[in-house]
């Protein structure tokens, strides 16, 4: 909203400068016209600078230059119209950039999270879960700014060593499926926890079924996004 107000202010400033010059007509001395030009350029460049960044500076420079250089010509209205159109085009482009930035922020705030499940003692993906992983791969392929983090788990039956190995093999099954769909290995990080994070009561088979999983998080890339395991 602030950016739109500043752009509108720059446009209005150009209108005032040109209009004032038009009322004065040919009665102004060359020195007065030069002073008007200098004031016009300075005023609009300051407002353009408030917009911020290269876009704001460009808006200020374009509006100020056109208002100053053409304020005393017969074609001032035509030139002003051209300047106005250019400002509107830049404003539209700025709004698109802001929308794109907002979409990126939304992705960062709302990470995708779900899981795939495995049968007892298995590290093979079911056809249903394979389709789910393939959907994740398609999403990653169309959003290169994202990566995936995997967490492998096992139910508490069996030794700790066996469960760690099994949970890691389950993660590797998901990684393989992602790579087969074109996802670079550098975009995948993972951890294997065995049964360390199990909350199932002993003998609760339904709870065990939920322990045999790989949790999948789709998140924004960071500078230290490298593949890891532990």
CB atoms within 10 A of CB 193: 18
Between 91 and 116, the more confident residue is 116
| Cα dihedral sign, 180-181-187-188 | negative
Strand partners, 218: 112, 148
- Token couple for 128: 């249903």
* CATH number of domain containing 194: 3.30.1330.60
| 70 in Cβ contact with 58 (< 8 Å) | no
Average pLDDT, the chain: 74
- Token couple for 137: 């791969």
Residue 140 located in a structural domain: yes
Range of the domain at 96: 2-106
| 121-155 per-position pLDDT tens digit | 999 999 999 999 999 999 999 999 999 999 999 99
Residue 230's contacts (CB-CB under 8 Å, 6 or more residues apart) are 191, 192
Percent of the chain beyond pLDDT 70? 57
Q: Are 8 and 100 members of one domain? A: yes
| 62-112 per-position pLDDT tens digit | 455 555 554 556 567 777 777 778 778 877 887 777 776 656 555 544 556
Instruction: Compute the average pLDDT of residues 186-203.
Output: 94
Q: Are 150 and 201 members of one domain? A: yes
Q: Which of 51, 83, 106 is the last residue of a domain?
A: 106
Q: Are 115 and 205 members of one domain? A: yes
Q: Are 40 and 118 members of one domain? A: no
| 160 in Cβ contact with 197 (< 8 Å) | no
To which residue do tokens 């960062």 refer? 108
To which residue do tokens 């998080």 refer? 217
Q: Is the pLDDT of residue 167 over 50?
A: yes
Residue 59 located in a structural domain: yes
Residue 53 located in a structural domain: yes
Instruction: Compute the average pLDDT of residues 43-61.
Output: 49
Q: Are 131 and 97 members of one domain? A: no
Q: Which of 106, 121, 141 is the last residue of a domain?
A: 106
């Amino acid at each position: 909203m602030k950016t739109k107000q500043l752009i509108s202010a720059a446009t209005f400033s150009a209108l005032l400068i040109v209009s004032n010059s038009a009322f004065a007509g040919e009665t102004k001395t060359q020195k007065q016209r030069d002073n008007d030009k200098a004031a016009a350029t300075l005023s609009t460049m300051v407002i353009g600078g408030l917009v911020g960044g290269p876009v704001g500076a460009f808006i200020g420079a374009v509006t100020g230059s056109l208002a100053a250089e053409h304020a005393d010509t017969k074609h001032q209205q035509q030139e002003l119209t051209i300047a106005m159109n250019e400002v509107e085009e830049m404003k539209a482009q700025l709004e698109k950039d802001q929308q794109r930035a907002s979409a990126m922020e939304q992705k960062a705030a709302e990470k995708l999270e779900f899981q795939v499940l495995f049968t007892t003692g298995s590290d093979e993906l079911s056809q249903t879960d394979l389709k789910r992983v393939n959907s994740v791969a398609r999403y990653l392929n169309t959003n290169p700014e994202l990566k995936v983090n995997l967490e492998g788990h096992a139910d508490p039956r069996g030794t700790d060593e066996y469960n760690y190995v099994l949970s890691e093999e389950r993660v590797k099954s998901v990684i393989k499926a992602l790579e087969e769909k074109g996802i670079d290995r550098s975009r995948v990080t993972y951890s294997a926890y065995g049964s360390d994070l199990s909350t199932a009561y002993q003998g609760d088979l339904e709870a065990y079924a939920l322990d045999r999983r790989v949790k999948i998080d789709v998140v924004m890339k960071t500078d230290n996004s490298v593949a890891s395991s532990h």
